[in-house]
Structure 1
Amino acid sequence: MTSEFQEPSSSSSSSNTHQWTHDIFLSFRGTDTRNNFTGHLYNALHKKGINTFIDDELRRGEEISPALLKAIEGSRISILILSKNYASSSWCLDELLKILECKKTKEQMVLPVFFKVDPSDVEHQTKCFGKAFDELGDKVKDDVKMLRWKDALIDVSNLTGGWIFSKGNESELIQEIVQRVSLVVNRTYLNVAKYPVGIEPRVHEVNSLLSIGRNDIRMVGILGINGIGKTTIAKAIYNSIAYQFDGSCFLANIGETSKQESGLVHLQETLLSEILRDTRISQVGNVNRGINVIKQRLCSKRILLILDGVDKLVQLETLAGNLNWFGIGSRIIITTREKALLANHEVNLIYPVRDMDHNEALQLFSLNAFKTEKPPENYAILTERAIRYARGLPLVLTDLGSELYGRSIVQWKSALDKYEAERKRKRKVRKKSSKKIFYKNSK
């Protein structure tokens, strides 16, 4: 068997709140694979308790049925079995269009299996795959529809997260697919944000630093002030990629937890139990022993570890002291306000979180303040005032919008006056304090 797993592109976190009716939707060409590969894959998924939709009906007519469209919309993952005659079926190609639409609008995961066809033949419609597509074109005689299908085939050929199978043991590939989707289906997602405005492009930028497809070990820092959205971005990344690793762990509020009695030891124990999926992990006893246990147990595992809210170097030294603590392919993400801390730990891949631009800030604030993406006309000026006060910080935009929700214009003005006055007062206090420090140091 020659199969290859390709890491998927990032997606935002909204998929974790969608109510799916099926775990898997199987799209396939019945004459090619129904009674062999696809049939065996369906049985393996079913035995694993994974709710899988497979179309068992004979297809009549040219229009895809409403029931099938509904099944695609309600599926968390679509698996495309791209075989040599897949493109000879208008049904399959219409399924593909719907699946790619749901990927965009519902954050559905799409996993292609290039079954005895090359991805380049799918992309360029060449060889036997292209011949089947051309023959369909002669039948449908619809240039617009053919162009839409062609674009969809190009898109699917460039998707990551799937497998290439040319020959060998099909059961091994089926087992690998079942294992992978089981991790997705059975995984608990982190709650990211009620309104995930602006998260996806920032996740994409961090993922470019992570380069998950590369066979190395990386630490990446997410850097920014309080309220800028570091934790939110890290959670969204965790939701989108955690299933690709042997084990994963999101350690939240590390700075606060480490202040507690035996806080660092507790964090070490949590890290081990979550990555090893073993709640029976015995107490490590002390920090030094915990370091040795982490190195011994995780040095051969490909893990995802997110260290959130780090504010002291000792926290990194205790939980992820060196790249060689973890197996090849591991990724460690650190969120912090302290750039010097990352430098001291030799973290060279750093993503400084940028402020929200005006459009993002307007949308996020409006969703919290009005439950719509734009403010009512009579609140437009006050909304701009609130956005200026928030200075592009998602946390401030969210909290302020939520507080002002349902209030009158008079109440808005009063609240904004109070917040702006308090900010000016604090600024004056800081200036006085800095002057005192300057005069003291100059003596």
Structure 2
Amino acid sequence: MSSSSSSYSSPSSSSEAKWRFDVFINFRGEDVRYGFVTDLHRCLIHGKINAYIDSEDLRRGDEISELMKAIDESRIAVLFFSENYASSRWCLDELVKVMECRRLKEQRVLPVFYKVKPGDIRGLRGSYGDALTGYEKKSGQDSERVKKWREALIEAADLSGWHYDPGQSQNETEFIEMIVKEISTIVKRVPLSVAKYPVGVRCRVEEVMSLLSMGSDDVRMIGIWGPGGVGKTTISKAVYNSIFDQFDGCSFLANVRETSSRPDGLIHLQNKLLSQILWKETLSVLGVDRGANLIRDILCSRKILLVLDDVDHRDQLNALAGEREWFGKGSRIIITTRDKRVLTFYRIHQVYGVKPLDQGEAFDLLSSYAFPGNQPKDISRDLIYNILGYANGLPLAIVVLGPFVKDRSREEWESTLEKLAESPNKDINSVLKISFDALEDNERDIFLDIACFFKGRERKYVTRVLDSCGLSTLIGIQILIERSLVTIVHDHTVQMHDLIQQMGQDVIKRECLNDPGKRSRLWCYDDVYEVLSAATVRASHETIDNLIFFNLHAITKLQLVINDYFLFLGREPLMLRA
């Protein structure tokens, strides 16, 4: 199976399979074994954190490979840099292995600077410089092993960690508790549930990861944009699971649009953001502006991962992630939205536009839900592709319809398709209609006219006709594009997803379910014929005046019907728009 259609499994979704130990502790025994490290190890074990403590009596013969294997299988490595750390070749070899695992396996590395300054390690001054100089004299300046030690020390000393300085009256017990708490927040993070059958997610996650550029230390904001039901939340969850181990704190805020619309909704979201990152159950945010300042002041020095899911207004970003300067070096902020304008307003130019599933991915996803065993013999490929044609690559539609048609007969599949042709599935429709409900009147009218009459027509023609009806079409179509309701394809024609079009047409039908003549738009031949052929005593000039646009296959027949009716009323024949 190709990567584009294969299921995605987050590396963090099964931490037990990936990591045998939660923590590996690397230290120079003569400096800190008795007291500090022993107390830390005891506290970690008491907190049910599986910590591997390096024991120097293992450093013999073949057992060295076991030590390196323990590093390889640890989720977190804690490095205790002490005064005589660099005098131990074993410590330096372990350090090189740890930094290798950080690069290749995304292992989290937390340095503790115990009575030493990070700058002295980075600059290889004092005991660290003396030790490296001694090694070089013994083995030569070009020794590959010494070169790796030097590079690993400089790289590790540049990581954020803890600095213990007894000269500043630090309490050792409190210092240990602080380390344990931080490790606990990392270990206790659990991956988010992505999808039952995450078909096609892997390749999309990889494309988002390329935008995140995880190797850089800048604060990066990216957007994931697309229509409702296309999989933005699923992708953002999978990305979150892939990388959350690499940050000091993480927060995934789901349903931002819905939550922020409630009384004090933004304050609730601010509280939740800080609670998730700081691992505190309750925080007191007294107002949106104060909450924004609190987020900035607390998180400006922390490397955090923040996902804001389903954002639809800049006020939400102002309250939760106003500026890149709010967050520490290396932070990543991911925003999912249906409205591209929200991203443009915040100068977020790294945007991943989510594409619908291709035919192979859609088939695999439908099969996963509808045929978890084998495909029944009486369900033909034609029936399957008719369902896929209705879904048109929208994962939401397949996830809803797949379980519905599971274990149903061929006749029930056919009946389902007939029902869907008449009216949309309410679960799918309710998700898609959120974008329509957020439109203003000008954009609603343009959207409904496109859904009923102009899908597939040339953009200039649509603009000319709708402008003549008093609509601001140029900006209106642009807003519909930004909100993932309309697309302009390469030949400059106006298009929209079939299910979005059906949603729009359903809005018109529900204006009056039983009397098409009372609807604002008519587009299908049967409805128009019914209105024009009804008892003339019920007809009115208003009914005719409301028949503005027609986009029909049987346009010649309709022309005759309408013109005959106009002659009956003594009015001039109607000229249909070309």
- TM-score, length-normalised on structure 1? 0.64
Alignment correspondent of 1:34: none
Alignment correspondent of 2:451: 430
State the AA in 2 paired with 1:267.
L
Alignment correspondent of 2:476: none
**Does structure 1 conserve the Cα–Cα contact (< 8 Å) formed by 2:229 and 2:394?**
yes
Alignment correspondent of 2:9: 12
CA distance in 1, matches of 2:180, 2:198: 30
248-257 or 375-384: bigger deviation:
375-384
CA distance in 1, matches of 2:17, 2:9: 20
Alignment correspondent of 1:440: 469
* Structure 2 CA distance for partners of 1:280 and 1:336, relative to 1, 3 Å: same
SS at match of 1:309: coil
Shift of 1:229: 0.6
CA distance in 1, matches of 2:102, 2:272: 39
Shift of 1:430: 2.7
Alignment correspondent of 2:107: 161
**Does structure 2 conserve the Cα–Cα contact (< 8 Å) formed by 1:23 and 1:185?**
no
* Structure 2 CA distance for partners of 1:309 and 1:48, relative to 1, 3 Å: same
CA distance in 2, matches of 1:354, 1:220: 16
User: In the alignment, does 2:244 pair up with 1:242?
Assistant: yes
Shift of 1:292: 1.7
**Structure 1 unaligned blocks of 5 or more:** 1-10, 29-36, 55-80, 101-107, 123-153
* Structure 2 CA distance for partners of 1:121 and 1:314, relative to 1, 3 Å: closer
**Does structure 1 conserve the Cα–Cα contact (< 8 Å) formed by 2:252 and 2:309?**
yes
CA deviation digits over 1:155-181, x for unaligned, max 9?
998444366876799xx9xx9998887
**Does structure 2 conserve the Cα–Cα contact (< 8 Å) formed by 1:14 and 1:196?**
no
43-52 or 427-436: bigger deviation:
427-436
358-367 or 218-227: bigger deviation:
358-367
CA distance in 1, matches of 2:195, 2:279: 26
State the AA in 2 paired with 1:430.
A
CA distance in 1, matches of 2:387, 2:60: 57
* Structure 2 CA distance for partners of 1:160 and 1:362, relative to 1, 3 Å: same
Shift of 1:343: 0.7
Alignment correspondent of 2:379: 379
**Does structure 1 conserve the Cα–Cα contact (< 8 Å) formed by 2:224 and 2:232?**
yes
CA distance in 1, matches of 2:318, 2:102: 43
Shift of 1:401: 0.2
Matches within 5 A, 1:224-373: 224-285=226-287, 287-372=288-373
CA distance in 2, matches of 1:266, 1:252: 12
CA RMSD after TM alignment? 4.7
RCO (CA 8 Å, sep 6+): is it higher in 1 or 2?
1
* Structure 2 CA distance for partners of 1:184 and 1:225, relative to 1, 3 Å: same
CA deviation digits over 1:9-28, x for unaligned, max 9?
xx734853x595996259x9
Alignment correspondent of 1:208: 210
CA distance in 2, matches of 1:84, 1:356: 55
SS at match of 2:262: coil
CA distance in 1, matches of 2:204, 2:74: 19
Alignment correspondent of 1:49: 48
CA distance in 1, matches of 2:227, 2:15: 34
SS at match of 2:469: helix
377-386 or 229-238: bigger deviation:
377-386
CA distance in 2, matches of 1:442, 1:321: 34
SS at match of 1:317: helix
**Does structure 1 conserve the Cα–Cα contact (< 8 Å) formed by 2:304 and 2:327?**
yes
Shift of 1:206: 1.0
Shift of 1:315: 1.2
**Does structure 1 conserve the Cα–Cα contact (< 8 Å) formed by 2:44 and 2:180?**
yes
Alignment correspondent of 1:415: 416
CA distance in 2, matches of 1:156, 1:282: 36
CA distance in 1, matches of 2:95, 2:388: 47
State the AA in 2 paired with 1:198.
G
SS at match of 2:20: strand
CA deviation digits over 1:306-358, x for unaligned, max 9?
11101112211221111111111111100001112211110011111122122
Alignment correspondent of 1:141: none
CA distance in 2, matches of 1:120, 1:276: 31
State the AA in 2 paired with 1:274.
Q
State the AA in 2 paired with 1:378.
D
Matches within 5 A, 1:77-156: 116-117=92-93
CA distance in 2, matches of 1:244, 1:330: 10
Shift of 1:213: 2.2
- TM-score, length-normalised on structure 2? 0.50
SS at match of 1:306: strand
CA distance in 1, matches of 2:108, 2:221: 25
State the AA in 1 paired with 2:9.
S
SS at match of 1:441: coil
Shift of 1:209: 1.2
Shift of 1:282: 0.9
* Structure 2 CA distance for partners of 1:358 and 1:416, relative to 1, 3 Å: same
State the AA in 1 paired with 2:452.
K
CA deviation digits over 1:389-437, x for unaligned, max 9?
111111111111011112111111111121133369x989832599895
**Does structure 1 conserve the Cα–Cα contact (< 8 Å) formed by 2:11 and 2:242?**
no
**Does structure 1 conserve the Cα–Cα contact (< 8 Å) formed by 2:223 and 2:335?**
yes
* Structure 2 CA distance for partners of 1:383 and 1:261, relative to 1, 3 Å: same
* Structure 2 CA distance for partners of 1:392 and 1:119, relative to 1, 3 Å: farther
**Structure 2 unaligned blocks of 5 or more:** 1-7, 25-32, 79-89, 110-147, 157-161, 163-175, 426-446, 456-461, 473-578
CA distance in 2, matches of 1:402, 1:14: 28
CA distance in 2, matches of 1:325, 1:21: 36
